[in-house]
Chain A
Amino acid sequence: MIHLQQVSVVYPNGTRALSDIDLHIDRGEFAFITGASGSGKSTLLKLLYRDIVPTEGKVIVDGQDVAKLPPGRVPYLRRKVGVVFQDFRLLPDKTVWENVGFALDVLGASRREKHHKVPLALELVGLSPKAEAYPGQLSAGEQQRVCIARSLVNMPPVLLADEPTGNLDPGMSWEIVQLLDDIGERDTTVIMATHDQDMVDRMGKRVVQLVQGVVVRDVKEGGKYDAP
């Protein structure tokens, strides 16, 4: 599903965020990306929804080389890749319901489809009671869950989550990760960047660890946050 071949990313200001990354993630796999702040986790995810293109190497998502994608095709790649953003990216003047519905609106969904899918997504993240609230009226954790609901409302085959539990209490974090795992069970590829040591250790999934833009560890199964 996802292949990175000798990928390097150098930002325009000269910062080298990723160096020579080789990574393969299969369809339906669930993988954690771990590493210290600034190690390149977000950069890695940005490559996968083609927010940026690699400076060197190849990034292939669902059989498509993202760097070679013509601009007109980029939206269609992004429809296949749901993203939970580290900074939520919600629209402050739209309600929770509208924010989630927005992701369907821009894909040209019908009203029926929207009224069917949005409540379902909100139900999944436990935000049904807050449907009519505005992001400014929510706690950070609640906003994060709105973002999660939006990312999965149209059931993309790939789900990227950039520290989706960063603002949640342990109980809620666990629930969210369970939710992502459940989604993963349904043939969805889930990639989650996180600092949450307990979580990673408890889940025992694949762990890819980054240090200063280099993969130092890639444990296929039963991975722990720290090398044993």
Chain B
Amino acid sequence: MRLNTVEFLLRQSWEGIVRNGLISLAAITNIAVALMVLGAIVLTGANLEHMAALEAKAAVITVDLEDGADPADVQAELLADLRVDPKQTRFVSKDEALRQTAQRLGLHLPQSEPEVAADLLAELLGRNPLPNSFRVKTGDPQDIPAVAAQAEKIPGVAEVRYGQQVTEKLLTLAEGTKIAGLLVGLIMTGATLLIIGTTIRLTIYARRREIRIMQLVGATNWFIGIPFVIEGVWQGLGGALVAVAVLLPGYTYVQAYIDQNLEFLSLLYSPSILILFALVILGCGILFGALGSAISLRRYLQTV
């Protein structure tokens, strides 16, 4: 396309925005709100999934041994299962388990002396009630149930436990957020398209004389339509920029707050993810803008 043509089309689209400035502003605000809601839902869903993944990654199978079982035999059997990650599989002796428990209980003793605490605990209870055990990790968290079931069959194993409930709950929640997000997203998208379509229709109406003349001197519908589509894109882009300008600092703030105050939680946060997120929002804005105006244009140009 020639430079003169590009300039002509851009100027036409810009004049449209300026002409109905207030309505354009309203459209941009609406798009911004819609994209903010969408963005917030996307961020929530992504974080729930992220947390579920973290949980799953940390998930351990605890394999308790019967008293008198030989840890070496059990270990050999455990590692025979190729899904088990040998580097992350650890033996925890009765004594170590007791020490850990004592430490966890605190017992108000200096942390540097867990043995003292353990002895104290053993004395209190009269014996060490804890079994020898293995902490087993799998290469893929998905394999945990299967590996656990397999481990139960090994001779000398008393009990197998693993904490999967939290992961499952998080995944369910993430799934729910995705579905809700999709629904809200569809409604928001519809509303946004409607708003942009309406603004563009106003511009079309204001320019109907000009459009008519363009048609009479032989402009194609494509050519007549481009400035309106660009106008829609400007609006979509404007709304998206506002949404990004609100969401990114807002999210950064929430992330920092949670990081400082809720140690067990950690939100997704990396420049690449935020940039990707911003780009997706901007992309949605542009797409909505183009689509909204294209729809109303099609209707108008067909009737003329």
Contacts and interface: CB of A to CB of B under 8 A. Distances in A.
B5 A108 contact: yes
Given A91-B209, A111-B2, A111-B3, A105 B8 contact: yes
B220 A102 contact: no
Interface string A54-97: 00000000000000000110011111000101000101000000
Contacts of A106: 214, 217-219, 223-224
Interface residues of B, number: 20
A78 B218 contact: yes
A78 B217 contact: yes
A111 B213 CA distance: 21
Interface of B is mostly: helix
Contacts of B212: 89
Given A91-B209, A91-B210, A109 B216 contact: no
Contact of A102 (B213, B215, B224): B213
B258 to A, nearest CB: 55
Contact of B217 (A51, A72, A114, A150): A150
Nearest to B209: A91
B218 A110 contact: no
B218 A75 contact: yes
A85 B217 CA distance: 11
A103 interface: yes
B88 to A, nearest CB: 66
Interface of A is mostly: helix
A207 to B, nearest CB: 26
Given A105-B8, A106-B223, A108-B223, A89 B2 contact: no
B265 interface: no
Nearest to A111: B4
B1 interface: yes
Contacts of B221: 71-72, 75
A150 B212 CA distance: 15
A49 interface: yes
A75 B213 contact: no
- 7 A-B pairs closest in CB distance: A106-B219, A79-B218, A78-B218, A111-B4, A103-B217, A75-B220, A105-B8
